[in-house]
Amino acid sequence: MVVRVSFMFSLDARRRILVTGGSGFLGSYLSEMLLKAGHEVLCLDNFFTGARMNVEHLLDHKRFELLRHDVCQPLFVEVDEIYNLACPASPVHYQFDPVQTTKTSVLGAINMLGLAKRLRAKILQASTSEVYGDPQIHPQPEEYWGNVNPIGVRSCYDEGKRCAETLFYDYHRQNNVNIRMMRIFNTYGPRMHPNDGRVVSNFIMQALSNKPITLYGDGLQTRSFCYRDDLVDGMMKLMNATDDISMPINIGNPREFTIKQLAELVLELTGSKSQIIREPLPQDDPLQRKPDIERARDFLGWSPTTEIHEGLIKTIAYFEELMSSPKPLQPT
């Protein structure tokens, strides 16, 4: 058992928490927030897309531990809660080794659910708006079953995440595992990987280096962008909700933009002179996406508070600092 010693924090309230994918964009910030809330954090990562740099500032913290491990392998540790975030999230990264992407979602879910079952630990799954595929209902409520191509280039991610959801609900029904299912919509902010190919990081990096802004297709496809801090706040609220909320919950910002509008906004906020150029729309790129967040409002009292201008300004500042840093851009 974990030895819990604290003068500042109630022994009952402090928990030992496993964060898989903990050195990634969202996992590293979540780990930081969990430490701030007084918990012990076991941060697990295989460093596929995560960077050691993201958690370097936590390494000396006495309640933080970093473990290099692949969630496709069984894991025997003692924890009270599990946030399962391990999985590459950017299309460029998850399509790099699609078989490994599906394995990470499916075998990772099996192993983490097996761990949760043995420990009677509460487990939250970082699912995605991609379970709705190229949605024919707009905005997307949680009741929507989606429109997903099972054999396309995005399927390793979409179907892997859908199968993980299936496993979560079967472990819940069959083994009484206490689950939380969070469907995350496009999220951006500091610590995004500068070269991960996602639209916010691409546009900001291109604008800051005065390279052309690559707009895929006609740029009229839409996304709704949530700032990292709002997202992680929603994630912790879902895990900590007193009600036994096992149903899926959308967490995202319902303010919808065309990708062309996003490009123009990034140009305006960076003051860049970059030209916007057109590139082909990738296969199966969803045409529209916007969360219905009524459930999050009703059950968690959560809604995002960061406007896109404010979030982008903070993200631009992060990438500016990264570009001027003497350290390499992709340390692991």
* Residues 76-105 interacting with ligand UDP (rule: CB under 6 A): 76, 90-91
| Cβ distance to ligand UDP smaller for residue 74 or 331 | 74
The interface partner of residue 184, options being ligand UDP, ligand NAD, none and the CB cut-off 5 to 8 Å by kind, is: ligand NAD
CA distances from 237 to 21, 25, 39, 297, 311 (A): 19, 19, 15, 11, 21
Residue 23 interacts with ligand NAD (CB under 6 A): yes or no: yes
| Cβ distance to ligand UDP smaller for residue 114 or 141 | 114
- Least distance CB 7 / ligand UDP (angstroms): 32
The interface partner of residue 282, options being ligand NAD, ligand UDP, none and the CB cut-off 5 to 8 Å by kind, is: ligand UDP
- Least distance CB 118 / ligand UDP (angstroms): 4
Residues 6 or more apart whose CB falls under 8 angstroms from that of 185 comprise 128, 129, 223, 224, 226, 250, 251, 252, 253, 289, 290, 291
User: What value, to the nearest 5°, has the Cα angle with vertex 319 and ends 314 and 321?
Assistant: 95
Classify strands 248-251 and 179-184 as parallel, antiparallel or unpaired. Answer: parallel
CA distances from 160 to 60, 143, 153 (A): 35, 19, 12
Residue 17 interacts with ligand NAD (CB under 6 A): yes or no: no
**Cα–Cα nearest to 222, from 188, 199, 250:** 199
Q: Exposed e or buried b for every residue in 269-307, given b needs 16+ CB within 10 A?
A: bbebebebeeeeeeeeebebbbbbbebbeeebebebebe
The interface partner of residue 48, options being ligand NAD, ligand UDP, none and the CB cut-off 5 to 8 Å by kind, is: ligand NAD
SS3 of 158, please? helix
* Residues 32-71 interacting with ligand NAD (rule: CB under 6 A): 45-50, 70-71
Q: Which of 31, 54, 100, 111 binds ligand UDP (CB under 6 A)?
A: 111
* Residues 147-186 interacting with ligand NAD (rule: CB under 6 A): 184, 186
158 close to 131: Cβ distance less than 8 angstroms: yes
- Least distance CB 207 / ligand NAD (angstroms): 20
Q: Residue 5: is it exposed, middle or buried by C-beta count within 10 angstroms (0-12/13-18/19+)?
A: exposed
* Residues 232-261 interacting with ligand UDP (rule: CB under 6 A): 259
* Residues 102-141 interacting with ligand NAD (rule: CB under 6 A): 104, 108, 126, 128
DSSP class of residue 306 equals -
* Residues 77-96 interacting with ligand NAD (rule: CB under 6 A): 85-89
Residue 180's φ and ψ, nearest 5 degrees, are: -130, 130
> Which two three-digit tokens encode residue 144?
């929507």
The reply to whether 216 belongs to the active site is no
| Cβ distance to ligand UDP smaller for residue 148 or 215 | 215
- Is the C-alpha dihedral spanning 184, 186, 190, 191 positive or negative? positive
For the annotated catalytic residues, the residue numbers are 157
Q: Which residues bind ligand NAD (CB under 6 A)?
A: 20-21, 23-27, 45-50, 70-72, 85-89, 104, 108, 126, 128, 184, 186-187, 193
Contact positions toward ligand UDP, by CB under 6 A? 74-76, 90-91, 110-111, 114-115, 117-118, 186, 198-199, 202, 214-216, 221, 223, 259, 281-282, 285
